[in-house]
Amino acid sequence: MNGVLPRNRDIGIGQLQDRAEWIRLETIRLVEIAGSGHYSSVFSCAEILSVLYYKAMRLNPAVPDWPDRDRLVLGKGHVAIGIYPCLADLGFFPSTWLDTYTRLGSPLGDHPDMKKVPGIDFSSGSIGHNLSVGVGMALAARARRSDARVWALLGDQELNEGQIWEAAMAAAHFGLDNLTAIVDANGWGLDGRVGEVMSIEPVAGKFAAFGWDTVDIDGHDVAAVVEACTRPAEPGRPRMILAHTLKGKGVSFMEQTPFWHLGYLGPLDRDAAISEIKQRMHA
């Protein structure tokens, strides 16, 4: 079908890393428009978003609701600010929409609305429910005899939600090898370190016990993310990618602190953050 972006597109590791850095820069720019926003939660999964949107997922920007597209559902829906630039860049909607982010009447809100934003597969808000949504989408694809794949991006503290484990049990029971969950394990939630608020370990062991195929990676190693996201599925088993990441990754004064989960950069800090990110990008 014309306009389809296939899976496993030909793009280099360096280019994908630059896309991740660009996602960080665009997040800073959009927060500047809004006056407040989520920095560190996006920065921890920037490489994951880069690989999904520019390499791994089959998409059709010209027909956003194409039935055989791959789908991404967001447990951590506040990372939408890092996804909107990707959707605009790929042609899902005009890039001018980005300049209206969170403004009155804009389709682009802090959390994504599937009824307003082309390329958003399901709305988000309260955490914990979108892995269940992904299970339903994967079952529906099977019923339609479609080879569409479903991806669910989860936060690690989100795993405190009991519904996650009901969905994990169901996905394994139904043998949903067209479903992949990625846990952005950055170690922090809004109210502190995940392990101190409510321990979730061993994450990989728990999913494996439910019957999932589990992969443990450095979530900032683009080559490792590519390999995990593009390797063939194990027949009859959903896949869980445990991506170890750093909250605030890429801006040194944001890393491993809870204070930039939601905030606003003043001019000096903003310029320092932008400079640090740009220094890593290829010419």
Q: Which residues of 4-26 are buried (b: 16+ CB within 10 A; e: fewer)?
A: ebeeeeeeeeeebbbbbbbbbbb
Q: Tell me the CB-side half-sphere exposure of residue 69, using CA atoms within 13 A.
A: 22
Residue 269 pLDDT > 50: yes
User: How much is the average pLDDT of 256-272?
Assistant: 85
Percent of the chain at pLDDT > 90 equals 78
In 3D space, the residue among 247, 253, 245, 244 whose CA is nearest the CA of residue 276 turns out to be 253
Residue 77 pLDDT > 90: no
**Predicted pLDDT of residue 188:** 74
Residue type, 80: A
- Return mean pLDDT, the chain: 93
**Predicted pLDDT of residue 80:** 95
**Predicted pLDDT of residue 1:** 47
Question: What are 194-244's pLDDT values in tens digits?
Answer: 667 788 889 999 999 999 999 999 999 999 999 999 999 999 999 999 999
Residue 95 pLDDT > 90: yes
Residue type, 77: G
Q: Is the dihedral of CA 100, 104, 107, 109 positive or negative?
A: positive
Q: Tell me the CB-side half-sphere exposure of residue 228, using CA atoms within 13 A.
A: 29
User: How much is the average pLDDT of 1-27?
Assistant: 94
Q: What 8-state DSSP symbol labels residue 124?
A: -
**Predicted pLDDT of residue 40:** 84
Cα 120 from Cα 127, distance rounded (Å):
16
**Predicted pLDDT of residue 2:** 63
Q: Tell me the CB-side half-sphere exposure of residue 82, using CA atoms within 13 A.
A: 30
Q: Is the dihedral of CA 87, 88, 94, 97 positive or negative?
A: positive
- Give the confidence band of 263 by pLDDT, cuts at 50, 70, 90: confident
Percent of the chain at pLDDT > 70 equals 98
Domains of the chain and any CATH numbers: 13-279 (3.40.50.970)
Question: What are 29-71's pLDDT values in tens digits?
Answer: 999 998 888 888 999 999 999 999 999 999 999 999 999 999 9
In this prediction the pTM is 0.95
Cα 60 from Cα 32, distance rounded (Å):
30
Task: State the SS3 of 213-265.
Answer: EEEEEECCCHHHHHHHHHCCCCCCCCEEEEEECCCCCCCCCCCCCHHHCCECC
- Give the confidence band of 283 by pLDDT, cuts at 50, 70, 90: low
**Predicted pLDDT of residue 127:** 83
Cα 266 from Cα 213, distance rounded (Å):
44
72 - beta bridge partners? Answer: 151
User: How much is the average pLDDT of 102-108?
Assistant: 94
183 - beta bridge partners? Answer: 154, 242
214 - beta bridge partners? Answer: 240
